[in-house]
């Protein structure tokens, strides 16, 4: 049997530290690297990052939108990045934030989680805000293929609070309900012998302050990985990571994009930046 995503992530995190490098080929970064904002520039940027961080960090997180903006040829580059990361032994989290209902969600699951699908990495980010149950096709296919999900729970954008912080009639916040559903799935996986870390993770912004505690999220009880965007250039350092995640720090996969990418364009400079960011995150989460 294929080891679960949670098992593979726990092993990779233990060996290489708690940092995921986001691959966000923003036009301004392409320009900073001296690259054209076209498919050739996109390919050179993205594959250079993969080369630089493979073996340095446990995971990469290509942001699908920055590839999609180049049309079908950009999506083809995303396929190359997924293949290159997996070939290098680096876990690939495809950051596509998909969420829909019924057969449409099933089609998204097929595109990103099916064995042999060109866009299938090791995990996918998904949105539960059509109801957590709408994610069932992705949950089921991820479990069947040994892949993982990162479900949006508490994001750092100010607009997110109007939905995520809202409370149901029973007093539970929407974000807490999302966390409890993830915890339920992970408990079942672990009870069936799935290792020490479940495969249904949450996305929790590293810059949210005390929001998790205020909204009733028991992040340690989720028993799954916690993807934490916002590390580095977006403002979260050691103090923020420790304050937001508390007893759940051992499950955090800190995500840094611009903080590492701005060190390019050379492989050596990117690798050095990734190593520094990794070590800083490890110290903060120890």
CA distances from 261 to 71, 204, 229 (A): 23, 21, 14
Question: Would you say 38 and 177 are in contact if contact means Cβ atoms under 8 Å apart?
Answer: no
CB atoms within 10 A of CB 131: 12
Q: Helix 136-145 to helix 102-113 angle, to the nearest 10 degrees?
A: 30
Cβ atoms 40, 256 nearer than 8 A: no
Residues assigned a catalytic role: 97
- b/e map of 140-154 (b: 16 or more CB within 10 Å)? ebbbebbbbbbbbbb
The residues near 109 (Cβ < 8 Å, ≥ 6 apart) are: 137, 138, 140, 141, 142
SS3 72: helix
Residue 133: what are its φ and ψ, rounded to 5°? Answer: -60, -20
Burial degree of 26 (CB within 10 A; 0-12, 13-18, 19+): middle
CA dist 212 and 241 (Å) reads 12
> Using CA atoms, how far apart are residues 232 and 259, in angstroms rounded to an integer?
5
């Amino acid at each position: 049997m294929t080891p679960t995503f949670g098992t593979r992530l726990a092993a990779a995190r233990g060996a290489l530290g708690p940092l995921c490098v986001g691959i966000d080929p923003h036009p301004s970064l392409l320009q900073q690297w001296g690259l054209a904002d076209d498919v050739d520039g996109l390919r050179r940027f993205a594959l250079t990052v993969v080369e630089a961080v493979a073996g340095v960090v446990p995971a990469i997180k290509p942001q699908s939108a920055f590839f999609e903006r180049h049309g079908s040829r950009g999506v083809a580059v995303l396929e190359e990045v997924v293949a290159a990361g997996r070939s290098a032994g680096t876990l690939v989290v495809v950051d596509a934030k998909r969420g829909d209902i019924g057969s449409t969600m099933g089609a998204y699951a097929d595109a990103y989680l099916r064995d042999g699908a060109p866009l299938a990495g090791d995990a996918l980010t998904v949105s539960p805000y059509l109801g957590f149950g709408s994610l069932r096709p992705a949950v089921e296919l991820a479990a069947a293929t040994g892949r993982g999900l990162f479900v949006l729970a508490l994001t750092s954008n100010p607009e997110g609070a109007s939905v995520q912080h809202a409370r149901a009639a029973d007093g539970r916040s929407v974000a807490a309900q999302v966390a409890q559903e993830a915890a339920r799935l992970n408990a079942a996986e672990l009870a069936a012998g799935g290792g020490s870390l479940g495969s249904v993770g949450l996305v929790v912004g590293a810059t949210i302050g005390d929001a998790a505690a205020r909204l009733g999220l028991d992040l340690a009880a989720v028993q799954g990985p916690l993807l934490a965007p916002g590390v580095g250039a977006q403002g979260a350092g050691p103090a923020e990571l420790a304050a937001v995640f508390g007893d759940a720090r051992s499950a955090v996969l800190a995500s840094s994009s611009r903080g590492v990418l701005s060190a390019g364009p050379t492989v050596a400079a990117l690798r050095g930046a990734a190593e520094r960011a990794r070590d800083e995150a490890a110290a903060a989460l120890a």
